[in-house]
């Protein structure tokens, strides 16, 4: 940063911030791009509503993309692929549908964030050094209770 005081905000930063955020830029990334501190970016978001709105709009697309990818990972998905191999000296390309099975970890993360009252892992510490661990299954019922004695 050159000079003292607040870095100068320029109106063209609004569209640039929107484009940066659409590409997945963080506040730190924008600060680097505009050659300011992350505190300056946060300050601009407070002082310039159009800048804050551009950041919010720009972040929406990548956030939706990640949500969709997590959802697909959680439930499984299929996609067209191609196997390339050599048969009798000739290169053969064989299209096929590849299946990616559901991922339990992604499903758990999705459900714990979207339905926290129904899907949670709960850890409580009791007096006397014992720890009670309750694992709540996806139906919301108590799956098991395990007491670990630490004292």
3 state SS of 18: helix
| Beta-bridge mates of residue 78 | 99
Tens digit of each residue's pLDDT (9 = 90 or more) over 5-34: 678 999 999 999 999 999 999 999 999 999
Question: Could you state, in order of their start, the residue ranges of all structural domains in the chain?
Answer: 13-73, 120-151
The rounded distance, in Å, linking the Cα atoms of 133 and 131 is 6
Distance of CA 115 to the CA centre of its chain: 17
Residue 35 — pLDDT band, cuts 50, 70, 90?
very high
Tens digit of each residue's pLDDT (9 = 90 or more) over 88-138: 999 999 999 999 999 999 999 989 988 888 887 765 555 666 666 666 555
| Beta-bridge mates of residue 92 | 85
Predicted pLDDT of residue 7: 80
The percent of residues in the chain predicted with pLDDT above 90, rounded, is 66
3 state SS of 132: strand
pLDDT at residue 143 is higher than 60: no
Residue with the bigger pLDDT between 23 and 143: it is 23
* For residues 61-76, average pLDDT: 93
Distance of CA 140 to the CA centre of its chain: 25
Tens digit of each residue's pLDDT (9 = 90 or more) over 38-61: 999 999 999 999 999 999 999 999
Predicted pLDDT of residue 137: 55
């Amino acid at each position: 940063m050159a000079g003292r005081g607040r870095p100068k905000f320029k109106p063209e930063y609004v569209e640039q911030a929107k484009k940066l955020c659409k590409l997945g830029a963080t506040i730190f990334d924008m600060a680097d791009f505009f050659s300011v501190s992350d505190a300056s970016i946060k300050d601009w978001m407070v002082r310039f509503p159009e800048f804050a709105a551009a950041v919010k709009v720009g972040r929406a697309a990548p956030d939706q993309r990640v949500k969709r990818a997590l959802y697909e990972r959680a439930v499984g998905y299929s996609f067209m692929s191609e196997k390339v191999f050599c048969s009798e000296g000739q290169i053969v390309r064989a299209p096929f549908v590849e299946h990616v099975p559901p991922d339990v970890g992604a499903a758990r993360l999705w459900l714990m964030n979207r339905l926290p009252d129904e899907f949670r892992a709960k850890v409580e510490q009791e007096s006397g050094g014992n720890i009670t661990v309750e694992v709540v299954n996806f139906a919301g019922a108590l799956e098991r209770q395990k007491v670990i004695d630490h004292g």
